[in-house]
Amino acid sequence: MTRVTTSLGLSALALAMFAGSAAADEGSARYIVKYQAGQGAAVQAAVAAQQGQVMRELSARHAISVSLPQGRADALARHPHVEFLEEDVKRFPMAETTPYGVIQVQGDQLGLNASAPTKVCIIDSGYDLAHEDLLSAGVDGTNDSGTGNWFTDENGHGTHVAGTIAAASNNGIGVVGVVSDPGLNLHIIKVFGADGWAYSSGLVAALDACKAARGANENLVINMSLGGSRKSRFEEQAFAQADSEGILSVAAAGNDGTTRDSFPASYGSVVSVAAIDEQKQIASFSQQNAQVEFSGPGVAVLSTVPMGTASVASLTANNTDYAAEGMEDSPSGSASGEMVDCGLGESACAAAGGKVCLISRGNISFADKVLNCQAGGGSAAVIFNNEPGMLYGTLGGVATNIPSVGISDVDGATLLQALSSGVVNASVDVGAGNYAYFNGTSMATPHVVAVAALVWSNHSSCSNVDIRNALAATAEDLGATGRDNAYGYGLVQAKLASDYLTTYGCAGDGSNGGDGGNGGGGGGGKGKPKRL
């Protein structure tokens, strides 16, 4: 399989989520208004009186999302028919860059029971239905104005998530999803367009669309590789209701690398997922807090992206091939010539005329390093890592004219040594591909979602609480003994969780008499920890 990479930071992935109309003007702010039943018209009239605009109607929940000029919210909040008013806080996708993960979570040890009605609802940026490695059978979706068709994906985040869950198996190409057997039903809700950000009201609308797509007796798991730092009472109530209705909601813990909560992951009714690497170490960017429940593979995760949007890269120097990853936003192309050491690339590389620039990571952006190579007449840029491992980089949308790639710290040191000893002739090639490595708790989340779907399909009479408890009871303990704020209960294990339910049943054996978790549900069983 060809190795490729694409890097997606929050700035590139802050996408417009379920936008019902144009975004609010800069001098206004957006709010959720919860009103008394039957008083929607009166409250909308009050919004108009405050020179506001209704952005979204959620009539089934007796609520609207509105844009109000600065300073008008307090007056609306005092309206006699308004129960509460709160900021319609933003929700962002959580990917930084980038499937050893299938083996880590035992996806290769447990098959899907296709006769059990099981659905995964992916709330994200869409699904490249034309992708060579993604299924069309059992896949449908929901469109929303402002985001485009659910079966296209303008940035790649949703397609990457979907591939981790259920990329096609036994077709001889690409990758294998955690759920490698056909029969899993996917419902795609496109809440991210090509650019922008999201609102919590849009996320609740997406949740309602997931529920509407749920078939009779169908167990439903929701994937949300997104989040934000601000809590929403309206959103919290919606997910608590979904939990009580037997839906299992799973979200990314966050990529700030702090102890701060992220929402919706940190609601008690939602499973919060941290990211680990191939060595099962917590990712430096992964949130660590009391709400982290499980860990999943989230570093250098290889999965599907929209056809032709990834970079396939190669580097050869003095007839030796080196592993290379194309910089996100690098133009396609080939270049060859002598290699020159351009140091940190902090200024135009004067000796680069017609040559391949070898540059160390550090101090300035990758884009500026490539531009400085280009300014010196360089034909290609090779940037090596300043910490262990492969360099997965992005130009952040900056336009450059020469192909650029990242390589590991070890290979960078090898090439520097070769340059000190003589001439190094190099060639660089960057082309288009269909698969990419991403990093993020966004990538860890679909691993947990897929495991939950596998386990639930084999124990379809169990509740969402039972599945959640079984995953906690059988997770591979990582970090400090027992549950901790970095790894939660640990790395989810599909086969062990299924075996646990086979042994103890949906409610466990009752020997410990636990409460089944703070979200409600069946009685505690042997070894079953409380839910977060």
The residues carrying an active-site annotation are 124, 157, 442
Q: How many other CB atoms sit within 10 Å of the CB of residue 116?
A: 17
All residues at 6 or more sequence positions from 272 whose CB lies less than 8 Å from its CB, including other chains: 251, 252, 253, 262, 265, 266, 287, 289, 291, 292, 293, 294, 488, 532
All residues at 6 or more sequence positions from 310 whose CB lies less than 8 Å from its CB, including other chains: 4, 5, 6, 156, 326, 432, 433, 434, 435, 436
Which residue type does 68 have? L
Helix (H) or strand (E) holding 311: strand 310-317
Residue at token pair 């590991």: 408
Residue at token pair 């009391």: 290
CA angle 230, 234, 236 (to 5 degrees): 70
The residues with which 359 forms a beta bridge, in sequence order, are: 383
Which residue type does 180 have? S
> What does the DSSP 8-state code read for residue 91?
E
**Phi, psi dihedrals of residue 314, rounded to the nearest 5°:** -145, 150
Helix (H) or strand (E) holding 198: strand 198-199
